[in-house]
């Protein structure tokens, strides 16, 4: 007999509607390629990517339900599952692989082979899905009420909004329209700034907050508790460490900075100090927080593995509990690892393969948990990649390897680990959506692998095209994350990496753990730019006020889901326009610029609209 408090998915387990159909697969593949290409450009230009799960959900709902007149919400879910895989794969690839192009231009290493890019991305993606499968019961099912998975939950809300009488669809599509308009005004027309910044001269730092709707939506969905921990990490970084570095650094040149700290602050402000120093401290905190999280999660992980290997329980499980058979999962993982080792274009030894397996599984658990806390958009994949690169490069150097071959091997290992981490976070988010909807896990997992394969086939060509057109490291295509990874590898090989900064982050994380404070949200807040954590915190405050004022069910979650979806859709559209050089035609900042006045008006309107949709519903959705 089912416990009345046990979670019940939207589609009951005894029903078996269409899911992995030809229509959903073809549509999903198209979205995977488009989202992968658009986000590759966006990430190389700005260092950030747009989460594609919710935009893919909106598009799939439109294609499956409106255009094709099909009624299965699980079919729409497969479309978004396949489509979002392209974005996660692109994020992992563009954060690391451009370093190979940069070294080739400097004559330190041979240019990357297209086959090399394809195999690294394909094998990394398949390993990310395979490592996540045994953890599903531990992180998705057993911690359903503990890990909010904001974007995965929002994605489910979007798909469910298209069901029934459409009572909730109005809130979702209102959010989509408003967020799209804000994104167009700020990043398309560029007639209002996307960030409000107030210099605090006395502390030699700056207070800033972004006004992008998706951040407010993520904060609202996460709630006050998690967002406050992230905000605390941001305060430590921007109002403790940056002022301390500015005051005590003075005219000193400290690596990785190349100019005196006083000059760095005068020319680049607090952001320059953050980029040169705080990011390393944050990377150390994320790495330590990830290790602490893994240690605390080990009992649940072992339990999940025992469930996966239990043949009797696996065979008796109902539809909504059936993952890919553990033997098939291990076979796919083993084949991917063997391929990475045997293909000559990938410079990986058996030691490198072992490091990929160890770091890959470790960061799969960490990435999935962090995605559950703050969503995949704010999952510091690059921070975990930095930790992996540090260890791998140190081990390669200790073994006597040096030069371009060793640096290429380090980046190859880091690339695979980065892709595993990014894909694992996206997979866990998609599985959360499927868990709420009542999807069949093994069909979703197959969908992820299909999307990974399609995106891997396209990403190499996209990267070669972009490098040929703009050049990685140029003003138009700065590739900031990959440039940082390149600097870390070179720093280790040349013996001048700022270990003190990394160690500071480790002990900040340990201090939080001693105080009983969740380490990962604090570490994430320390690693991310302050304007992001401030905006997320603002969303959490809005949720707190709304919950205090109102009782009963509201459409706030649906509206905020729409905000996340709308900005994602508009962001991808703008990225596509930029790829074709059409973004300059809609930029009217030269003739109209509302400055902070327009920005503050937009922010006030967003807060008002979220509060409006937080009012109790007159009828249940």
Q: How far apart are CA 19 and CA 64, in angstroms?
A: 11
CB within 8 A of 420, min separation 6: which ones?
A: 92, 124, 125, 127, 128, 131, 356, 359, 360, 363, 364
pLDDT at residue 312, rounded to an integer: 44
pLDDT along the chain (621 residues), means of 10: 66 90 91 82 68 73 73 86 89 88 86 86 95 88 82 84 60 86 90 91 94 89 89 96 94 88 93 90 84 72 59 61 90 94 81 90 84 72 80 86 83 92 92 93 95 92 82 76 82 81 93 90 88 92 87 74 80 78 81 83 93 68 39
pTM of the model: 0.77
Whether the CA torsion 141, 77, 312, 4 is positive or negative: it is positive
pLDDT at residue 301, rounded to an integer: 61
For residues 117 and 36, the answer to whether their CB atoms sit within 8 Å is no
**Residue 514 DSSP class:** H
**Residue 473 DSSP class:** T
pLDDT at residue 315, rounded to an integer: 46
pLDDT at residue 311, rounded to an integer: 47
Nearest alpha-carbon partner for 565 in 171, 226, 193, 210: 171
pLDDT at residue 577, rounded to an integer: 82
For residues 150 and 219, the answer to whether their CB atoms sit within 8 Å is no
Domain definitions of the chain by residue range: 22-613
pLDDT at residue 314, rounded to an integer: 47
């Amino acid at each position: 007999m089912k416990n009345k408090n046990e979670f019940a998915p939207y589609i009951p387990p005894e029903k078996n509607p269409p899911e992995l159909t030809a229509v959903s697969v073809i549509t999903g593949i198209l979205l995977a390629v488009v989202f992968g290409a658009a986000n590759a450009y966006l990430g190389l230009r700005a260092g950030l990517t747009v989460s594609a799960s919710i935009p893919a959900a909106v598009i799939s709902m439109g294609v499956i339900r409106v255009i094709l007149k099909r009624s299965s919400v699980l079919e729409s879910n497969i479309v978004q599952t396949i489509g979002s895989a392209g974005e996660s794969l692109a994020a992992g690839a563009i954060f690391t692989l451009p370093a190979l192009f940069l070294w080739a231009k400097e004559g330190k290493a041979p240019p990357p082979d297209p086959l090399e890019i394809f195999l690294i991305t394909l094998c990394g993606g398949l390993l990310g899905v395979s490592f996540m499968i045994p953890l599903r019961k531990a992180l998705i099912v057993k911690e359903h009420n503990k890990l909010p998975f904001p974007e995965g939950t929002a994605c489910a809300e979007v798909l469910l909004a298209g069901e029934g009488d459409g009572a909730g669809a109005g809130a979702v599509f209102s959010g989509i329209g408003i967020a799209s308009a804000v994104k167009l005004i700020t990043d398309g027309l560029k007639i209002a700034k996307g960030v409000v910044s107030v210099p605090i001269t006395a502390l030699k730092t700056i207070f800033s907050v972004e006004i992008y709707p998706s951040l407010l939506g993520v904060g609202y969905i996460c709630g006050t508790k998690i967002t406050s921990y992230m905000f605390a990490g941001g305060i430590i970084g921007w109002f403790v460490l940056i002022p301390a570095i500015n005051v005590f650094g003075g005219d000193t040149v400290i690596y990785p900075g190349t100019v005196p700290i006083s000059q760095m602050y005068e020319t680049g402000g607090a952001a320059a100090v953050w980029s040169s120093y705080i990011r390393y401290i944050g990377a150390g905190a994320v790495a330590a927080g990830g290790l602490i999280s893994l240690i605390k999660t080990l009992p649940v992980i072992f339990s999940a593995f025992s469930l996966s290997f239990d043949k009797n329980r696996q065979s008796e499980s109902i539809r909504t509990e059936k993952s890919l058979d553990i033997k098939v999962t291990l076979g796919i993982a083993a084949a991917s690892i063997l391929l990475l080792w045997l293909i000559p274009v990938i410079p990986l030894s058996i030691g490198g393969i072992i490091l990929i397996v160890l770091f890959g599984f470790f960061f799969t658990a960490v990435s999935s948990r962090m995605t559950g806390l703050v969503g995949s958009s704010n999952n510091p994949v690059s921070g975990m990649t930095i930790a992996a690169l540090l260890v791998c490069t140190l081990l390669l150097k200790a073994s006597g390897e040096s030069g371009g071959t060793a640096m290429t091997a380090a980046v190859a290992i880091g690339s695979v680990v980065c892709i595993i981490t990014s894909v694992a976070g996206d997979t866990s988010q998609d599985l959360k959506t499927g868990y709420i909807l009542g999807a069949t896990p093994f069909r979703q997992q197959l969908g992820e692998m299909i999307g990974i394969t399609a995106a891997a086939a396209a990403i190499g060509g996209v990267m070669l095209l972009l490098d040929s057109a703009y050049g990685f490291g140029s003003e138009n295509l700065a590739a900031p994350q990959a440039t940082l990874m390149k600097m870390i590898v070179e720093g280790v090989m040349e013996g001048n990496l700022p270990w003190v900064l990394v160690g500071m982050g480790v002990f900040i994380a340990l201090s939080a753990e001693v105080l009983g404070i969740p380490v990962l949200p604090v570490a994430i807040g320390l690693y991310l730019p302050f304007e992001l954590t401030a905006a997320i915190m603002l969303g959490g405050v809005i949720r707190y006020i709304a919950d205090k004022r109102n009782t009963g069910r509201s459409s706030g979650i649906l509206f905020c889901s729409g905000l996340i979806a709308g900005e994602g859709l508009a962001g991808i559209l703008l990225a596509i326009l930029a790829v074709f050089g059409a973004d300059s035609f809609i930029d009217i900042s030269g003739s109209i610029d509302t400055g902070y006045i327009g920005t503050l008006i937009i922010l006030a309107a967003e807060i008002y609209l979220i509060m409006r949709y937080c009012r109790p519903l007159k009828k249940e959705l």
